[in-house]
């Protein structure tokens, strides 16, 4: 098991390194010039070159990458003379657009994204799995038909539509104060304020995911219910409740929980659309603005890396759990 673990950890580390190199290269070779973007209107070539130096983009891309990696371990200095300042390790760079070390920006954005992800995750699991099980148990009945309709609506409505609809309805019926919308409140200081701020984004995200999970759970439960061992359990005289709880759900939900873990990890990288609609200052909004508007390379790199780390780590956890459950995986 230890050998397997070491192998997987090495592979995970390599994936993260490769992702960082890839992202660095992709954004270095795109026909966008961050030095020009920071230049404003009356921007002469001399000013562009000055900005390029300030941003640290006047050296070969491999040197930029080495500086970036070094900064993660030992921190990094920026500016010259009296205007010199430092970003302590782990330094992912400095955002000249936001005048802040990228690590600080991420530290501020992560709790928002985590709050969004965990709330919607719980909501979609509760709704999706419950509805899926119910639909499977009442095949062909109105509950099943209603769940099919829910799946259809949930899967058909992209979040940028459902989010705007939910938001405009809430505004129309004065359910939210738009001026307060998106303001970050710590759940440890004001749990009600925190929850009320996230309820609409949770609903938006959960709607799409719950629809998928309803369909998935329903088909898994139906499939598992037709297995021989379920029939055997029934023949042994076990009650339907016990069969469902002890045998059907255990088997049917295992793959669902695996996918849920990966979906959750994906969301931790930032729910771009939902965060933007509800003005949530999370990782998704941070990264999409860095890509589309500010072209803020240090922020792009850090948020992409972070998202990759979440997914890769969750994959690792899942793999380890699988290896624990099924020893054949260790030697595969």
Partner 1 sequence: MSGSKMTTSHFRRRLVATTAAGAFLAASVLVGTATSADAATAKVTKGGTLYFITQQQQFDHVDPARVYTGRDIAFFNSYLYRNLVSYKPTKGAAGSSLVPDLATNTGVPSNSAKTWKFTLRAGATWEDGSAVTCADAKYGVSRAFATDVITDGPQYLVAALAIPTNADGSSQYKGPYKKTGQALYDKAVTCSGSTITFKLNRSFADFNYALTYPAGAPVKASKDNGDKYDLRPFSNGPYKIATYKIGDEMHLVLNTKWSQKSDTVRTPNADDIVVRFGLVENVRDQIMLDDSIPNTVNLDGLQPANNLRFFADPKKATQRMNVYDPYVRYAAMNVSPGHMTCLDVRKAVFFAMNMQALIDLSGGTIYYGVPGDSPVKPVLGLDYAKTTGNIHDPAWNINGAPDKAKALLASAKSACPDVYAKATDPSKGISWDLSNTATNQKASVLIKTAMDAAGIVMKFNFIPSGQYYSTVMDPTKQGDISTAGWGADWANASTVIPPLFIKGGGFDLSQASTDPDYAAFKALSDKALGTTDRPKQAAMWKQLAQMAMDKYWIIRPVFGKGQFDWGSKVGGVYYWEPQGTYGFGQLFVKN
Cα 122 to Cα 32: distance, rounded to the nearest angstrom: 40
Verify binding: residue 184, partner 1, rule CB under 8 A.
Answer: yes
Under 8 Å between Cβ of 39 and 32: no
Q: Which is nearer to partner 1, 33 or 227 (CB)?
A: 33
Which residue, chain included where needed, has tokens 């469902």?
A: 244
**Buried b or exposed e, range 168-192, using 16+ CB within 10 angstroms:** eebeeeeebeeeebbeebebeeeee
Verify binding: residue 99, partner 1, rule CB under 8 A.
Answer: yes
The site for partner 1, by CB under 8 A, has a size of 54
Verify binding: residue 179, partner 1, rule CB under 8 A.
Answer: yes
Which residue, chain included where needed, has tokens 């297995």?
A: 227
Verify binding: residue 91, partner 1, rule CB under 8 A.
Answer: no
Verify binding: residue 44, partner 1, rule CB under 8 A.
Answer: yes
Q: Which is nearer to partner 1, 34 or 132 (CB)?
A: 34
Closest CA to 203 of 277, 92, 93: 277
In the DSSP assignment, the letter for residue 79 is S
Verify binding: residue 110, partner 1, rule CB under 8 A.
Answer: no
Quick one: which segment of 64-72, 163-171, 231-239, 317-325 binds partner 1 (CB under 8 A)? 163-171
Verify binding: residue 293, partner 1, rule CB under 8 A.
Answer: yes
Q: Which of 13, 73, 85, 229 binds partner 1 (CB under 8 A)?
A: 85
Q: Read off the tokens for 217.
A: 């759970």
Distance in Å, CB of 290 to partner 1, minimum: 11
Cα 160 to Cα 183: distance, rounded to the nearest angstrom: 20
Cα 118 to Cα 105: distance, rounded to the nearest angstrom: 20
Q: Which of residues 248-287 bind partner 1 (CB under 8 A)?
A: 276-277, 279, 281, 285-286
Verify binding: residue 181, partner 1, rule CB under 8 A.
Answer: yes
Quick one: which segment of 69-77, 198-206, 253-261, 288-296 binds partner 1 (CB under 8 A)? 288-296
Distance in Å, CB of 79 to partner 1, minimum: 6
Q: Which of 11, 15, 16, 39 binds partner 1 (CB under 8 A)?
A: 39
Verify binding: residue 164, partner 1, rule CB under 8 A.
Answer: yes
Which residue, chain included where needed, has tokens 């938006």?
A: 204
Q: Which is nearer to partner 1, 98 or 138 (CB)?
A: 98
Q: Read off the tokens for 113.
A: 């994204």
Cα 226 to Cα 191: distance, rounded to the nearest angstrom: 44
Distance in Å, CB of 60 to partner 1, minimum: 21
Verify binding: residue 196, partner 1, rule CB under 8 A.
Answer: no
How many other β-carbons are positioned within 10 Å of the β-carbon of residue 40? 9
Quick one: which segment of 60-68, 168-176, 296-304, 321-329 binds partner 1 (CB under 8 A)? 168-176
- Residues 102, 107, 112, 116: is their CA dihedral positive or negative? positive
Q: Which of 16, 50, 315, 320 binds partner 1 (CB under 8 A)?
A: 50
Cis ω before 6 (30° cut-off from 0): no
Q: Which is nearer to partner 1, 48 or 329 (CB)?
A: 48
Cα 183 to Cα 205: distance, rounded to the nearest angstrom: 18
Cα 156 to Cα 247: distance, rounded to the nearest angstrom: 33
Q: Can you give the binding site for partner 1, defined by CB under 8 A?
A: 32-33, 35-48, 50-51, 53-54, 78-85, 96, 98-100, 164, 167-168, 171, 174, 177-179, 181-184, 276-277, 279, 281, 285-286, 289, 293-295
């Amino acid at each position: 098991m230890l050998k397997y673990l070491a192998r997987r950890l090495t592979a995970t580390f390599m994936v993260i390194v490769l992702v960082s190199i890839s992202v660095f290269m992709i954004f270095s070779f795109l026909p966008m010039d961050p030095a020009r973007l920071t230049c404003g209107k009356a921007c002469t070539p001399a000013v562009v070159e000055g900005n390029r130096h300030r941003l640290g983009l006047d050296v070969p891309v491999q040197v930029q990458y080495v500086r970036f990696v070094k900064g993660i371990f030992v921190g990094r200095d920026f500016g010259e003379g009296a205007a010199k300042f430092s970003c302590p390790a782990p330094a992912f760079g400095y955002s000249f657009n936001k005048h802040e070390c990228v690590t600080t920006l991420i530290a501020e954005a992560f709790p928002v994204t985590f709050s969004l992800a965990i709330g919607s995750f719980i909501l979609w699991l509760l709704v999706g799995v419950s509805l899926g099980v119910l639909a499977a148990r009442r095949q062909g009945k109105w509950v099943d038909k209603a769940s099919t309709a829910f799946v259809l609506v949930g899967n058909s409505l992209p979040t940028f539509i459902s989010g705007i609809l939910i938001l405009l309805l809430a505004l129309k019926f004065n359910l939210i104060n738009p001026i307060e919308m998106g303001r970050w409140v710590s759940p440890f200081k004001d749990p009600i304020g925190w929850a009320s701020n996230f309820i609409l984004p949770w609903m938006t995200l959960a709607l799409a995911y719950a629809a998928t999970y309803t369909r998935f759970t329903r088909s898994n439960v139906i499939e598992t219910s037709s297995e021989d061992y379920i029939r055997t359990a029934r023949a042994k005289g076990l009650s339907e409740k016990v069969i469902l709880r002890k045998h059907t759900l255990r088997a049917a939900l295992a793959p669902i929980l695996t996918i849920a873990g990966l979906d959750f990890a994906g969301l931790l990288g930032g729910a771009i659309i939902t965060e933007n609609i509800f003005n949530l200052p999370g990782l998704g909004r941070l990264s999409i603005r860095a890509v589309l508007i500010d072209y803020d390379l240090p922020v792009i790199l850090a948020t992409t890396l972070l998202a990759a780390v979440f997914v890769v780590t969750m994959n690792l956890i899942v793999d380890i759990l699988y290896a624990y459950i099924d020893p054949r995986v260790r030697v595969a």
